[in-house]
Structure 1
Amino acid sequence: MKVARLDGLVRHLILAGFSASIALPLLWVLRVSLTDKLTAYRLPPEIGQIGLHNFVEVLTQYDFTRWFGNSVFVAVLATAISLPAAAMMAYATARYRTGGWPLMMMVLSSQMIPPIVLVLPMFLVFTTLMPVPGIIAITIAHVAINLPFMAWIMISFFDEDTRSLEEAARCDGATRWQAFTRVTIPVAMPGIIAAGLLGFILSWNEFLYALILGNHSSQTLAVGLASLETHAGVNIAPLAAATLLALAPVLILLPFLQKYLIKGLSLGALK
């Protein structure tokens, strides 16, 4: 009995330590965002005068709304384009083994390529062979990055579990497309939502492609936040406020989509 209690205590301490490692940086950013600029630099940390002046400064003295709008445009459009294509790619791979394991391993290995290896050829393509506006170039790059990753996640959801239901729908007179859209897609929806959420987060946080392929008018949040570092140093208090505002969409989405994300990732890991 004592051994079981000790084992449970150790597990709870490990979970508490892991939770603290995630929560404490966010709490530190929140403290810095609400205090004045002088207090933000002091060690050990002090609370100082609490207020929303850093948030007001970010929204009024910087192009935060433009950065935010560009990030929303790129992340939503890249996810909307990648998700249907990735679903069909995952379905073809799971149902017909299109390309076999070599193609699947090629898709997985594409995620291991350093981004700097791809960004330079993309820069040459979008500046010489196919000149497009910066925000469109960033969106195309994000689609190219997210599509293989999202397809790999969804492959397991189109495997054996949906095959019998699809065959039953075919026996009832449904076409292959009708069985795919009306039976397979609803059953695999947790995996599709999980893949879409992860693709959105990856696009929202991406920095290198947005920095190289974009310009001043197409700066995303990741690039805009980096510009808060000036020759006089980092404006840490406004940066903390801008960081919390940048995290807001993801923090708002997660509680509503958490069950789909957990189910999607856990099923994908078990398959």
Structure 2
Amino acid sequence: MRSARGAALLRHLILGGFSAVIAMPLLWVLRVSLTDKATAYRLPPEIGEIGLQNYVEVFTAFDFTRWFGNSVTVAVLATLVSLPAAAMMAYAAARFRTGGWPLMLGVLASQMIPPIVLVLPMFLVFTTLVPVPGLVAITIAHVAINLPFMAWIMASFFDADTRMLEEAARCDGATRWQAFTRITVPVAMPGIIAAGLLGFILSWNEFLYALLLGNHSSQTLAVGLASLETHAGVNIAPLAAATLLALAPVLLLLPFLQTYLVKGLSLGALK
């Protein structure tokens, strides 16, 4: 009995240690964001006077609202465009083995290409051949990089038990499209939401394409936060406040999406 309690206590201590290591950077950023600029640079660290002046400065001295709006626009549009196309691509690969495994491995291998190799041709296309506004160019680039990744994730979801339900619907007179939209998609919805969530996060965090394809008016959060580093040094206190504000949407949505994420990933893993 004592050995079981000791083992449980040891597991909790190990998990607590890992949790502390993971939470420490966030707690450090929170401390810096609530203190004044002079105290933020001091080592060993000091708490100093707590206040919200850095958060106020983020909105008054910088274009944080525009950066945030651009990131939301690009991430949402890229996800909404990529998700249906990736779902149909994954369905074709799962049901009809279109292209076979070589095609799917090629799709996966496309994610290993260094982004700088792709961004330069895109830059030439969007600036000379097909001039488009910065936000449109960034959104198209995010669709191009997110679609193969999302299709690869969803391919296993359509290979699960949805096949039998779809065949039953076809026996009842449903067309292939009706079976796909009314049977397969609702059943695989947790996996589709999981893929959409991961695609949204990829687009939200993307930096290189937003930096080279955008302009001053189309800066996203990732590019905007990088601009807080000036020739005089890093504005570390406002940067910490802006970083937490950039993390806020994901942290707020995570509890509501966690159920779909775990269920979707489990659906893709169990065949």
- What TM-score, normalized by structure 2, do the two folds share? 0.96
Deviations for 1:32-63, whole angstroms, at most 9, x for unmatched residues?
11111111111222111111110000001101
Q: Counterparts in 2 of 1:159-170, with a 5 A limit?
A: 159-170=159-170
Q: Residue 17 of structure 1: CA displacement?
A: 2.2
Is 2:192 aligned against 1:192? yes
Cα distance in 2, alignment partners of residues 262 and 20 from structure 1: 23
Is 2:175 aligned against 1:180? no
Tell me if structure 1 keeps the 8 A contact 2:160–2:268: no
Q: Residue 253 of structure 1: CA displacement?
A: 1.0
Is 2:47 aligned against 1:50? no
Q: Residue 176 of structure 1: CA displacement?
A: 1.1
Query: Structure 2: which 5+ runs fail to align?
Result: none
Which residue of structure 1 aligns with residue 151 of structure 2?
151
Cα distance in 1, alignment partners of residues 9 and 106 from structure 2: 44
- SS of structure 2 residue aligned to 1:157: coil
Deviations for 1:215-267, whole angstroms, at most 9, x for unmatched residues?
11110000000000011110000000000111111111111000111122233
Is 2:201 aligned against 1:207? no
Which residue of structure 2 aligns with residue 218 of structure 1?
218
Which residue of structure 2 aligns with residue 90 of structure 1?
90
Q: Residue 13 of structure 1: CA displacement?
A: 2.8
Identity %: 87
- What TM-score, normalized by structure 1, do the two folds share? 0.96
Look up the equivalent residue of 1:201 and give its one-letter code.
I
Query: Structure 1: which 5+ runs fail to align?
Result: none
Q: Counterparts in 2 of 1:1-16, with a 5 A limit?
A: 1=1, 3-16=3-16
Per mean C-alpha deviation after superposition, the further-off stretch among 5-14 and 234-243 is: 5-14
Look up the equivalent residue of 1:26 and give its one-letter code.
L
Is 2:257 aligned against 1:267? no
Cα distance in 2, alignment partners of residues 155 and 15 from structure 1: 33
Q: Counterparts in 2 of 1:108-119, with a 5 A limit?
A: 108-119=108-119
Look up the equivalent residue of 1:35 and give its one-letter code.
T
Is 2:251 aligned against 1:246? no
Tell me if structure 1 keeps the 8 A contact 2:79–2:196: yes
Q: Residue 125 of structure 1: CA displacement?
A: 1.2
Look up the equivalent residue of 2:220 and give its one-letter code.
T
Look up the equivalent residue of 1:67 and give its one-letter code.
W
- SS of structure 2 residue aligned to 1:178: helix
Deviations for 1:95-139, whole angstroms, at most 9, x for unmatched residues?
111100000100111111111111111111111111111111100
Q: Residue 200 of structure 1: CA displacement?
A: 0.5
- SS of structure 1 residue aligned to 2:119: helix
Aligned length, in residue pairs:
271
